[in-house]
Structure 1
């Protein structure tokens, strides 16, 4: 709140306090404009604790202000913070009969106000301490209904019934003021989720339904309401005594109720929440509510998932039905992020298969024959796998999880990635694909998880398409991923992981070894597209077309050959890096050399260079230096794969 606004209300309160001491006939000006401006400010932003105390002091003592003005102020007495004990006691002390007491209609408004702000009392037990005073006022008929309602809240006894429920419009305005106040004031307890946040209620579109905030009616005398919890210590001390609120679906929006149901699960509570959600789905399906209702609910469920990092089965059931009516566009990013919290599920835990339950309906809704929709799904699956990895690391018994869903997901993304290499041949898309396989190898790099999860590899065609794409960043990341895959295979085949290769893994390892041999043949051995070596697949390039490719290269440059066209010196991706290294080495020895290398480096050209007074560098030293140069430039993937694949390099590095 800005200081001018605060000063304005201070001035108005001063004018009201001065006018209250003078009869109306002795005032030089009318007090009504001052009252109107005061109530307008109170309605707009509420009263701070010190302002509230001044107003209550003004209202609870007989003075010369007219009853209409006093009543208008009480009706707009919205606290913007907690209500202090002194303020509550001032109001209680103003009740009853006496010449200095406010009028009985005004006292009735005071009691109604206490009911409406009961959840904001700084110390809810303060009214219990005043129980004797309140009970002795029951013989005053003019305030008895409001007094009974307040006593019902104070005593929580079944035989004391509320006179009426709170005014929802007044309460909604109070919640709005409290919400704005909470954004300005750093309330640590609410921020940490250890107090009820009364500003979380929202109006759902398309139906006359108020999404509820936490509110407990008809609590038992021995219980504690969530509204009374204000710290972690308070929640811990009263965990078993806390009464569940009237509207349990508020768990989707209130952090404190979320903590309560996580710490104290309740089957009946889950059933009530599920019934509420299903009823909303039924309203939309029958046409009684607009589909925007579901989208607003998705926003609430999204916030719940982000806060709790979970999606319970009842919400999965709701999402399964939601996906069948969703058009795939409304709040798509939010829906996809929400689905990234889907837990590991498959038939093993008596739930519907993951694809049939979630992924199938999702893809049917989202896919619209555009690359952007395919990329959106790919990013979802990447995030989903990362969250599954975290869940597995945190699990006390990984074997109890549906880990069979992970190879199934990888196989599914394999097909999606191949599709993207045809529909969106961009470096950005290729990097998005590699993000997924980076997440895969991050899981495989953890022996405790690898013990329970089969290794699933990318398809050969995808590997070769990415390796030969026109981006060194893509090729480097791909090689780094393959190097981490290789370490995972080695871990399973050694004593590092307490399990043996499965039959599907034995079939996959031969294809994977083909990746390693083919890329090594291209980059290191000068035998690109060869199929004579063990496991070599020739990068899936048919042998029948290789003579044509050879002829094309010879026509372009007689010194080029297909076998060496993709090595460190000649590869379109690596030639600049390799010749840059040579130039740097020559610059370091500029005073010592008489000749410089003129073009792509070969073993023969290095020998000739040394004979002409140039750099004295062996072929093996040159290639090792290029690998080190790539690492220094933030491109460690190809060196990492070579060091993990070529035996002579392994020995040299050791």
Structure 2
């Protein structure tokens, strides 16, 4: 999570991010593949954007969505573009991406969307962080004036950014020629008049006397709403980190250019003739050359907000300095508990967040502070800040961590809503990620680390099981898999394997995700289990004492059951070694099989989750086969007289070949589906099949060799 996204006090960042994620996922599927229509989701997103605006990361994600090919309809894309209200200045990357999508080509947006994006650039021109970036793209924009569908918007944008250096004889000639060709297009005439303002002695003739566009703001009401959003965001972020601090000069007037009311500035009154004060340092060379001579300032609590003092204490750690800082923070925590602090809590949290994010450390006195702060915290104000700060907590005894911090945190946050559960779950994912980064930096195995990580994963397992019941959506499943991506890294990374025990997900969770309706969810799950298997193989090759046979069998059951469903057409089978039948009771399996038999559909219940029949993979499988048939026809084959009606089975392939259809072997077909899934960005299914089933890997190796 970026620093901007962490601010969730007034801005519904969680709702916006989740809705954007839903729209992005839907954009990757055709309308027929989607479970439901995407239009209500787009309407919801448009409403959220109109109400709250967009932070930089969210804006970048939506600009990427509308500028690259997808399966979203033009009306939905246009709705999104019309509601792109930036809450902060727009950065260069966004502007460059928009300009880069202009023009003709299969990978370009439609001209209607290009025109809407150009109109959007005109309307947000005044809040572009670096307006020079548009000037640098002047040639690109000018050369697109031949495109009639976007000419009006292009001329307006060019009129805004044109400066004397842009007015060149060849451009004047080009505009005059274009004006004649278009019958004195008002937009072109308007741009010519802008050129004439710079060189009136050169731009002459009848062209500039024709009717010209006035280049007024395209949508004043849109501008008014944008101004309101910008003002609201500015008010929310007042007294916060709005500009970067000079890393080698002490911060003045608080951490943000204004007095925070919480921290004192760096002042040193005990300097000597031979010592150097921090206030005298103005460059990295001055800091390095005088490191040993620098005196500590009077108020060491300034370390929380001053990057230079943070560097000094990092390079010259002193127990006395940390003791003084700890005492001050403990006193502040007592004031908060008693309600006597008289200070805006959000300001203090902003400073603590800036400290941990810069130093990537969580000092011991922070534990004391938050153990007191959480007692009086309302659970809402500055929630994003609290969760971000606590995600930097180090690896300490989990029992103490849970009692002192995590349990009080959960009590304050959880309120029987999905949003609160998701926010807490995202916090735990970030915490595990930071722990993983820390463990990767160690050269030797740390004591108690394995038990601490295992306790955290076990605790989050319960939250995952709750989430899949309270919010059974593809977005929630994706967030859950984000967490297990981290656990899979711990299990499979060679450097991290020695530090931690392999913690597998709960069995019910694995099967719930396996039977989800999203091919992306299934693929990610298979990829994670594949990495787990690699970790177990390495661990079992060196020692068998770490894991009991029951634990290994439980994990092997995941592999066998999923392979039985997808590859072997033996779903819910319990007779194979290690198979658990996906935890489906035998009585239910028999009832389901009887129901399927009564339908006379030519398949049994054990086949309905295979590559060809699966409600998740079936469309992708038949799409692969259709591509094979199309390729055969493109080669001019006269033998293809029959196309497969689907679903593909071993028997149907034999029958098809005998009826002048495509000749494909059963194994070749299934391996082809796995390759097709990989090309579609869903390589996890194939990874699990290759790593689990020896005959599949051998067959694949033979195909690659040929």
TM over 0.5: yes
- Asked if 1 retains the 8 angstrom alpha-carbon contact of 2:362 and 2:392, the reply is yes
1:554: Cα distance to partner?
2.5
Go from structure 1 to structure 2 and tell me whether the alpha carbon gap of 1:310 and 1:240 turns closer, same or farther (over 3 Å shift).
same
Deviations 1:151-187 (A, max 9, x none): xxxxxxxxxxxxxxxxxxxxxxxxxxxx99x989x9x
Match of 2:678 among 608, 631, 638: 631
CA contact (8 A) 1:354 1:405 kept: no
Higher RCO (CA 8 Å, separation ≥ 6 residues): 2
Say whether the 8 Å CA contact 1:441–1:485 is kept in structure 2. yes
Matches within 5 A, 1:198-237: 198-201=252-255, 211-237=263-289
Deviates more, 1:485-494 or 1:234-243: 234-243
* Mapped partners of 1:507, 1:233: distance in 2: 60
Contact 1:201 1:210 in 2 (8 A): no
* 1:461 equivalent in alignment to 2:504: no
Unaligned runs of 5+ in 1: 1-178
Aligned twin of 2:585: 542
Cα drift, residue 460 of structure 1: 0.5
Work out whether residues 398 and 449 of structure 1, in 8 Å CA contact, stay in contact via their aligned partners in 2.
no
Q: CA deviation at 1:393?
A: 1.4
Query: Take 1:521 and 1:260, find their aligned partners in 2: how far apart are those partners?
Result: 60
Residue matched to 1:649: 696
Between stretches 250-259 and 643-652, larger displacement belongs to 643-652
1:565 matched to 2:616? The reply is: no
- Counterpart Cα distance in 1 of 2:600 and 2:516: 22
Matched with 1:552 is: 595
- The Cα shift of 1:586 comes to 0.9
Task: Write the distance in 1 (CA, Å) between the matches of 2:528 and 2:385.
Answer: 30
SS of residue matched to 1:568 = coil
Q: CA deviation at 1:337?
A: 1.0
TM-superposed CA distance for 1:210, in Å, is 5.0
Q: Distance in 1 between matches of 2:383 and 2:410?
A: 12
Match of 2:491 in 1: 444
Counterpart in the other structure of 1:597: 644
1:403, distance to aligned residue in structure 2 (A): 3.6
Contact 1:204/1:297 (CA < 8 Å) preserved in 2? no
Q: Distance in 2 between matches of 1:287 and 1:524?
A: 63
Query: For residues 105-504 of structure 1, what are the structure 2 equivalents within 5 Å?
Result: 191=246, 193-201=247-255, 211-290=263-342, 293-346=344-397, 353-400=400-447, 402-495=449-542, 500-504=543-547
1:510 is aligned to 2:553:
yes
CA separation of 1:390 and 1:503: change in aligned 2, threshold 3 A: closer
Deviations 1:382-411 (A, max 9, x none): 111111111111223332473421111111
CA–CA distance in structure 2, aligned partners of residues 437 and 647 of structure 1: 26
Distance 1:183 1:373, change over 3 A: closer
Q: Is the 8 A contact 2:565 2:572 kept in 1?
A: yes
Q: Distance in 1 between matches of 2:418 and 2:314?
A: 40
Asked if the contact 1:294/1:322 (under 8 Å) is kept, the reply is no
- List runs of 5+ in structure 2 lacking aligned partners: 1-237, 702-706
User: Matched residues in 2 for 1:638 and 1:416: separation?
Assistant: 26
Q: Larger C-alpha radius of gyration, 1 or 2?
A: 1
1:215: Cα distance to partner?
1.1
Report if aligned partners of 1:250, 1:257 keep a CA contact under 8 Å in 2. Answer: yes
Deviation by residue 1:179-206 (Cα, 9 ceiling, x = unmatched):
99x989x9xxx53x1221224357788x
**Retained in 1: the 8 A contact 2:275–2:294?**
yes
Q: Is the 8 A contact 1:630 1:636 kept in 2?
A: yes
Distance 1:505 1:441, change over 3 A: farther
How many aligned positions are there?
458
C-alpha deviations, 1:391-449, integer Å up to 9, x for none? 11122333247342111111111100000011111110010000000111122222121
Secondary structure of the equivalent of 1:525? coil
Deviation at 1:501, TM superposition (A): 4.0
- Specify whether residues 248 and 501 from structure 1 end up closer, same or farther in structure 2 by C-alpha distance, changes over 3 A only: farther
SS at match of 1:404: helix
Task: Report the alpha carbon displacement of residue 295 of structure 1 after superposing the two structures with TM.
Answer: 3.2
- Three-state SS of the structure 1 residue aligned to 2:646 is coil
Q: Distance in 2 between matches of 1:634 and 1:287?
A: 54
**Distance 1:194-1:395 versus aligned 2 partners, 3 A rule:** farther
- Structure 1, 597-606 or 281-290: larger mean CA deviation: 281-290
Cα separation, 1, equivalents of 2:259 and 2:511: 51
CA distance in 1, matches of 2:380, 2:366: 20
For residue 535 of structure 1, report the CA deviation from its aligned partner. Answer: 0.6
Q: 1:612-654: CA deviations, max 9, x gaps?
A: 0111111111111111111111111111100111110121233
Change (3 A) 1:295 1:401: farther
> 1:211 and 1:539 mapped to 2: Cα distance?
57
Equivalence for 2:656: 609
Task: State the 1:558 CA deviation.
Answer: 3.1
Determine if contact 2:449/2:499 at 8 Å carries over to the other structure: no
**Distance change (3 Å), C-alpha of 1:201 and 1:546:** closer
Rounded Cα–Cα distance in structure 2 between residues aligned with 1:419 and 1:567: 28
User: Secondary structure in 2 aligned to 1:567?
Assistant: coil
